[in-house]
Structure 1
Amino acid sequence: MNSVPYRAHRNTLSAEFVNGSDRVSTYYSYISKRPDAYIARNVRMEKPERQKADRTRLVSVLEEYNLRIHNSPKAMESIRALLRPETLVIIGGQQAGLLTGPVLVMYKAITIIQEAKKASAALGKPVVPVFWIAGEDHDMNEVNHIQVLNPQGKFEKLSLDSRIQALEGVSHVSISQDDWNEVMEKLEAYLIDTEFKSQLVGKLREIHQQSGTLSDAFARTMAWLFAEHGLVLMDAADPNIRALERPMFRELLEQHEALNEMIVKQGEALVRDGFPLQAEPAEHQVNLFMRSGGRRKLLQYEDGRFQDKQGTESWTKEELLTFIEEHPERFSNNVFTRPLMQEFLFPVLGTVLGPAEIAYWGLLKPAFEHLDMEMPVLIPRTEITFVESTVQKHLDKYELTAEDVMERYEEKLQAWLKDQDHIDIEGQFHRVRDEFIRLYRPVVESLKQIQPGMNQLGNTNMEKILEQIVFLENKAKKALIDRHGTAMRQWEKMYASLKPMGKYQERVYNVFVYLNKYGMQWLEDLIRWDADDEVHYLMYV
């Protein structure tokens, strides 16, 4: 595979962060390129820190969970390495999506693994890769489906039963074997026949037969895909993790007003500097969720009491502190407090983030400092757009680049169609319209001399004739397109491959589309591939 950097369009704050701009340095603790940032962060972490989660208990909880999902011996070695006080982690996370969700999840895991190895070499100490599964997320519609191209080249949405809801969080929703079987049957039908398909589908069936929830299936699949690379997995909704987080939940609740005020003010500063907000902070937010009445509810604080967003339930601070003590598994973080909880749980050297995540982390530096913490090194996850060989042939045929298709598709397509129009359809019809109006308008204007209102009828008649001219013009253009049907299908295939549904490829397609075509070695080659400091790459297969 050959790769070249690609300047993708992204959120302004994220783009300036990636480019190391001094303009955003006040919003982050580390802007410098790695590994210098790792060295500086490591020095900072060697100094006495505020109280953190008990490492021995954390290791015990991670061992229990990773054994349950059948993670590899190398992952268990990574977990045991955390018993050593000098061991650090590179961490990143994502929601638990069906069949791992969009392929960007793979790129995040790969970046975590690669950066852990680089950091360990730079610092001369163990650095463990950790993947944080956001199993507490409750938007089932966001994670219950993937998009694939069927053997006919058409988009298919493969999803779980839409009636399955995750009102308390994805990790709390049981998925029946009938539902899993339906998903696997559709996947098998949609994937093209290859030498890898049978073994791939068979392994996925085996994993889903052992999985009771979407989070469970996600974790087991990730453990299988990255078995040789020591990737530690954790589910944020694991009750044993929640028990470890009890002290931090208490502190986040006690400090909620000060923390939220800082986040809101930081958002105002970003807006003044011209940066759009990726996540909107708001007054009265506690930035914690609590499960109550069969739902996961975002807490707010007004008039001295805590309540859910709809105001249907309310609690005193003492009541919530008691709940935290007795049932910490009922609580979870939102986007603003999850980074703080992550810092409490793990010795975080760096965290791997997508562009949107980098943008909302820009709100959090004062919150870290208020809790006597420091924001870790932020690592942009690698982004990849695959340019497959058949697509490259079409690009060459029409003298296009991948960037042309991804950023200027309609413009390039219309220019090509115009080149195929040897009779100048648009020009001819434009001249006909102009000449018709020139000749017909004076006639229409003269009609009012015969009878008042006749010119209005003439204008209506003229508009109808113009509509018919436009109708014929559109029919002629469509006939031109139909005449070049094979070429149009090739253009559509390029766009469907490189910018499917108008989105970057990594946000639409699923990893098993590629594993089915190229086998497991494709993933191993990606992990061994050493990216430079660029973020988005065009990778030619």
Structure 2
Amino acid sequence: MPTNYIPFRETNYFSDFICDYLDEKPKLKPLYNRFPAIGNFEAQIEEKLHSEIVREPYRKVLVDVLTKQYSQINTSELTLQNIENLNSENTFTITTGHQLNLFTGPLYFLFKIISAINLTKQLKTSYPNYNFVPVYWMASEDHDFDEINYFNFRGKKIQWNSNQSGAVGHFNTEGLDAVFEVVSAEFGLGKNAEQLKKWFKDAYLQHNNLANATRYLANELFGKHGLVILDSDHKDLKRLFIPNIEKELVEQIGFNEVSKTNSSLEDLGLKIQVNPREINFFYLDKDLRERIVFEDNLFKVNNTNISWSKSELLKHLDEMPERFSPNVIMRPLYQEVILPNLCYIGGGGEMIYWLQLKSNFKVHNVTFPMLLLRNSVLVKTKKQTSKLENLNISDKDLFLKRSSFINKKVRKISNVDIDFSKQLKYLEQQFEDLYKLAEQTDKSFIGAVKAQEVKQLKGIEHLEKRLLKAQKKKLADQISRCTELQEQLFPNQSLQERNTNFSELYLEYGDSLIDELIKLLEPLNGEFTIITI
């Protein structure tokens, strides 16, 4: 299938921070361990091999937890083998994480996981003596329900309303039967529509909480490709993390280390993604996920009456580590403690906050992973590609903001020349001659020449805008066809991957959708990918 690439910087949809990272600018090198190039993984493997946390009992606990979590779902042979391989010291993970968005949320959920799957394949080819397992880390302890309780389908927002609170992975699936009725009507008829309905029904109406529902759905989509899905909200996994939790609670290392890094980033003029708190843990219980704070010589749970002395808190941590939930500063460290991980794959915002964390990892003596920006993709149908070619719209044109897109198109298809740059240049030359003349006479004449120059240049620019406006009106039908196509591919003038749900494409392509994406996407390519399926 036709594939095209555009540098991330040229899309104008990615921050300078991320583009500088991709360009390996020297100023950012202190913020990461190794850049994600295939040859750099050898050193990353060696460093991780010498880390105690990839040995027993960590691997055994991880495999035991995964085995329990997969006991109730139909698991592919490849995924089962990947879980079993995690017992071996020559097996490593490539991890991506994502919130428990309703019906996967935006398209980039797929692209994250496909990036992880494809990178494990590339690594196995380059390093055949090792095994590499793609892992999807479910953000089951997140508590921002409003970010995940909907997905977009053909311009409509399909939403699940619930008054539950606490960690979203614990949310029961009550009320999703009403959402199922909505999606059934929206998906319509046909084989692919029926499959989408079945996935939604089996995931959300046959499972008792959102974490289990999300695991089922992700496994249905990617199980045959060996994806391993982990819910880290588990007592046995948290127990492995107790030394780090205690260090954070007592010494407030995360706050001190990340604050220093943030200060360095500000000096470089870079925008900070997250700010640390004095204590970077929440307290987790039924219907509750609130920050732990230290006030009046007591550790307290914000907005509750729960409090402990230092000794009481550490005793409670030892007895119930599952009650301690890492925030955005500590979650990455937790991930790298319990997984034999080499590389984390995320979006632009995630990459930035990971780049704030290296010094915190160093203090905890945990290997900092390689950081890879996930594949970003625009998917076009053959019909859309044909229309774009007929309208002489390039892939790069599509990334223009709407006004610039229209102006460029009008100038291109207009039968009159709307570019007045030649006239402006001629006018500027005439005034250069006038300035020379003015210098030979009364100097007050220079001011008059300048005023006349400004007036006439503005006049030419105004005439150009008037002509452009007139041509827009005259060519309205052609421009409408162009903007309609851009809107299809950039809904709400945003990237398709940040808005569109996979169901829209699945209705068109069925099971071949994910197979084609896996075939076409290259995780280490380093550019924005445009594909026609």
Is TM more than 0.5 here? yes
Find the partner of 2:100 among 96, 99, 106: 96
1:267 CA drift (Å): 0.4
Partner of residue 339, structure 1? 332
Does the CA contact (< 8 Å) of 1:237 and 1:329 recur in 2? yes
1:309 CA drift (Å): 5.0
1:327 CA drift (Å): 2.0
1:536 CA drift (Å): 1.7
Structure 2 matches for 1:345-356, cutoff 5 A?
345-356=338-349
Does the CA contact (< 8 Å) of 2:61 and 2:237 recur in 1? no
Partner of residue 146, structure 1? 151
What TM-score does the superposition give when structure 2 sets the normalisation length? 0.82
Partner of residue 170, structure 1? 168
2:136 counterpart SS class: strand
- 1:536 paired with 2:531, answer no
Does the CA contact (< 8 Å) of 1:139 and 1:166 recur in 2? no
Partner of residue 45, structure 2? 42
Structure 2 matches for 1:54-203, cutoff 5 A?
54-123=58-127, 124-149=129-154, 155-161=155-161, 164-176=162-174, 179-191=175-187, 193-203=189-199
Find the partner of 2:317 among 324, 329, 339: 324
1:265 counterpart SS class: helix
Q: Where does the alignment leave 5 or more consecutive residues of structure 1 unmatched?
A: 150-154, 425-473
Find the partner of 2:27 among 18, 23, 42: 23
Does the CA contact (< 8 Å) of 2:380 and 2:530 recur in 1? yes
Find the partner of 1:406 among 399, 402, 407: 399
CA displacement, residues 380-438 of structure 1 (integer Å, 9 cap, x when unaligned)? 211101122333233234322233232232123245568899999xxxxxxxxxxxxxx
Does the CA contact (< 8 Å) of 1:259 and 1:370 recur in 2? no
1:186 CA drift (Å): 1.9
1:144 CA drift (Å): 0.6
Structure 2 matches for 1:254-333, cutoff 5 A?
254-255=250-251, 257-282=252-277, 285-291=278-284, 294-308=287-301, 314-333=307-326
Q: What is the rounded CA distance, in whole Å, between the counterparts of 2:116 and 2:416 in structure 1?
A: 57
Going from structure 1 to structure 2, the CA distance change for 1:223 and 1:293 (only over 3 Å counts) comes to closer
Of 40-49 and 191-200, more deviation after overlay is shown by 191-200
Partner of residue 510, structure 1? 501
Partner of residue 452, structure 2? none
Does the CA contact (< 8 Å) of 2:79 and 2:228 recur in 1? yes
1:42 CA drift (Å): 1.0
Of 14-23 and 408-417, more deviation after overlay is shown by 408-417
CA displacement, residues 8-46 of structure 1 (integer Å, 9 cap, x when unaligned)? 331222222222222211111112x42122101111123
1:23 counterpart SS class: helix
Q: What is the rounded CA distance, in whole Å, between the counterparts of 2:286 and 2:526 in structure 1?
A: 47
Going from structure 1 to structure 2, the CA distance change for 1:488 and 1:292 (only over 3 Å counts) comes to same
Find the partner of 1:223 among 201, 210, 219: 219
Identity percentage over the alignment? 24
Find the partner of 2:482 among 486, 491, 499: 491
CA displacement, residues 489-534 of structure 1 (integer Å, 9 cap, x when unaligned)? 5334323222212321111111111111111112112112251522
Q: What is the rounded CA distance, in whole Å, between the counterparts of 2:397 and 2:411 in structure 1?
A: 17
Q: Once superposed, what is the RMSD of the aligned Cα atoms?
A: 3.0
Does the CA contact (< 8 Å) of 2:54 and 2:339 recur in 1? no
Q: What is the rounded CA distance, in whole Å, between the counterparts of 2:84 and 2:387 in structure 1?
A: 51
2:156 counterpart SS class: strand
1:386 counterpart SS class: strand
Q: What is the rounded CA distance, in whole Å, between the counterparts of 2:126 and 2:414 in structure 1?
A: 60
1:322 CA drift (Å): 2.4
What TM-score does the superposition give when structure 1 sets the normalisation length? 0.81
Q: What is the rounded CA distance, in whole Å, between the counterparts of 1:411 and 1:373 in structure 2?
A: 48
Structure 2 matches for 1:522-533, cutoff 5 A?
522-531=513-522, 532-533=524-525
Partner of residue 444, structure 1? none
1:303 CA drift (Å): 4.9
Does the CA contact (< 8 Å) of 1:92 and 1:353 recur in 2? yes
Q: What is the rounded CA distance, in whole Å, between the counterparts of 1:215 and 1:238 in structure 2?
A: 12
Amino acid at match of 1:126: N
Amino acid at match of 1:372: N
2:400 counterpart SS class: helix
Amino acid at match of 1:88: F
Q: What is the rounded CA distance, in whole Å, between the counterparts of 1:530 and 1:420 in structure 2?
A: 34
Q: What is the rounded CA distance, in whole Å, between the counterparts of 1:63 and 1:238 in structure 2?
A: 13
Q: What is the rounded CA distance, in whole Å, between the counterparts of 1:246 and 1:224 in structure 2?
A: 34
Q: What is the rounded CA distance, in whole Å, between the counterparts of 2:205 and 2:77 in structure 1?
A: 22
Amino acid at match of 1:540: T
CA displacement, residues 365-388 of structure 1 (integer Å, 9 cap, x when unaligned)? 111110112211112211101122
Q: What is the rounded CA distance, in whole Å, between the counterparts of 1:201 and 1:251 in structure 2?
A: 47
Does the CA contact (< 8 Å) of 1:93 and 1:133 recur in 2? yes
Amino acid at match of 2:380: V
1:228 CA drift (Å): 1.3
1:198 CA drift (Å): 2.1
Does the CA contact (< 8 Å) of 2:472 and 2:479 recur in 1? no
1:399 counterpart SS class: coil
CA displacement, residues 181-239 of structure 1 (integer Å, 9 cap, x when unaligned)? 32223223323655522233234323333222222221101101112111111112244
Q: Where does the alignment leave 5 or more consecutive residues of structure 2 unmatched?
A: 418-465
Going from structure 1 to structure 2, the CA distance change for 1:381 and 1:253 (only over 3 Å counts) comes to same
Q: What is the rounded CA distance, in whole Å, between the counterparts of 1:363 and 1:106 in structure 2?
A: 26
Partner of residue 207, structure 2? 211
CA displacement, residues 60-111 of structure 1 (integer Å, 9 cap, x when unaligned)? 1101102224332321111110111221111111111100111101111111
- 1:364 paired with 2:357, answer yes
